């Protein structure tokens, strides 16, 4: 099978985006938050954990901890106890405390608006930085690549990469920059609702005709 040209992949991506936008007109970040700091904390907690579980924990957490100093000044044990229902709670508590201390030291307690500054914070990689920039600030700096985005990008044959940063680089030329935040939401929503890792519902998929993997299964 000949390699699909960049022009053809761009066109197919636009068709995929149109189909997903119609299927999920209300797609959005499913982590509950009201402030950039809350989104930053929730995203750190979400690593290897479901958004649903994170939202259960942060409902009480955000009532107790309002600002960066609250997290930075909390003891390790206290914060661990507050997020104990979350996987990897010990390392996440340490990262959150370090993250918020650096916010105080370098950013007057405020969440910075650049990817360079964000990735210097404890527990913050490029994915978390992209989540915060795109959703809290509307800054289209990159494409969030989580397990759903990586899986669907592969199934749709938009990438052969397994490394999230390489997947992001493969997706960026195909998606208009103004849609970089939304393409992640659309793919995540579709991954959770129609295209899970096991038993994807290809026969019930809104973009099945655009998916080489889906056509193989049909």
Number of domains in the chain: 2
Active site residue 179: no
Distance CA(8)–CA(163), nearest Å, equals 23
Q: Would you say residue 1 has pLDDT above 90?
A: no
Pair (62, 122) in one structural domain: yes
Q: Which residues contact 70 (CB under 8 A, 6 or more apart)?
A: 64, 100
**Residue that finishes a domain, picked among 136, 164, 185:** 136
Pair (131, 63) in one structural domain: yes
Pair (94, 72) in one structural domain: yes
Mean pLDDT of 76-104: 97
| pLDDT at residue number 215 | 55
Distance CA(210)–CA(18), nearest Å, equals 11
Pair (132, 40) in one structural domain: yes
CATH number, domain with residue 17 = 1.10.1670.10
| pLDDT at residue number 217 | 44
Pair (42, 96) in one structural domain: yes
Number of Cβ within a 10 Å radius of residue 67:
14
Mean pLDDT of 174-189: 98
Distance CA(151)–CA(190), nearest Å, equals 11
| pLDDT at residue number 214 | 78
Mean pLDDT of 32-61: 97
Mean pLDDT of 30-34: 98
> The whole model's pTM is what?
0.93
Q: Would you say residue 161 has pLDDT above 90?
A: yes
Distance CA(110)–CA(102), nearest Å, equals 10
Three-class DSSP category at 97: helix
Query: Considering the domain boundaries, does residue 1 fall inside one?
Result: no
Mean pLDDT of 195-202: 94
Pair (132, 153) in one structural domain: no
Active site residue 127: yes
Pair (115, 154) in one structural domain: no
Query: Considering the domain boundaries, does residue 95 fall inside one?
Result: yes
Pair (178, 197) in one structural domain: yes
**Residue that finishes a domain, picked among 136, 156, 184:** 136
Pair (11, 43) in one structural domain: no
Q: Would you say residue 218 has pLDDT above 50?
A: no
**Residue that finishes a domain, picked among 136, 156, 191:** 136
Catalytic residue among 32, 146, 166, 179: 146
Pair (65, 13) in one structural domain: no
Given 3-state DSSP classes, what are the helix, strand and coil percentages for the chain, each rounded to the nearest 5?
A: 65, 0, 35
Provide the residue range defining the domain that includes 61.
36-136
CATH number, domain with residue 127 = 1.10.340.30
Catalytic residue among 92, 102, 127, 150: 127
Number of Cβ within a 10 Å radius of residue 175:
20
The CA-to-CA distance between both ends of the chain, in Å, stands at: 18
């Amino acid at each position: 099978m000949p390699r699909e040209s960049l022009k053809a992949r761009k066109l197919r991506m636009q068709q995929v985006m149109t189909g997903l936008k119609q299927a999920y007109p209300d797609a959005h970040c499913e982590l509950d938050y009201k402030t950039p700091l809350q989104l930053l904390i929730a995203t750190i907690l979400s690593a290897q954990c479901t958004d649903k579980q994170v939202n259960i924990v942060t409902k009480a957490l955000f009532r107790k901890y309002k600002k960066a100093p609250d997290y930075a000044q909390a003891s390790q044990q206290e914060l661990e106890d507050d997020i104990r229902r979350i996987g990897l709670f010990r390392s996440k508590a340490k990262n959150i405390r370090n993250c918020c201390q650096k916010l105080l030291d370098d950013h007057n307690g405020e969440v910075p608006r650049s990817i360079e500054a964000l990735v210097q914070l404890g527990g913050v990689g490029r994915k978390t930085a992209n989540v915060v920039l795109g959703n809290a600030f509307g800054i289209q700096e990159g494409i969030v690549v989580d397990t759903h985005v990586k899986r669907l990008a592969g199934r749709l044959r938009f990438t052969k990469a397994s490394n999230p940063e390489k997947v992001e680089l493969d997706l960026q030329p195909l998606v208009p920059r103004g849609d970089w935040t939304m393409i992640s939401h659309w793919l995540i929503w579709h991954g959770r609702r129609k295209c899970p890792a096991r038993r994807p519902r290809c026969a019930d998929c809104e973009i099945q005709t655009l998916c080489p993997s889906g056509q193989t299964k049909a």
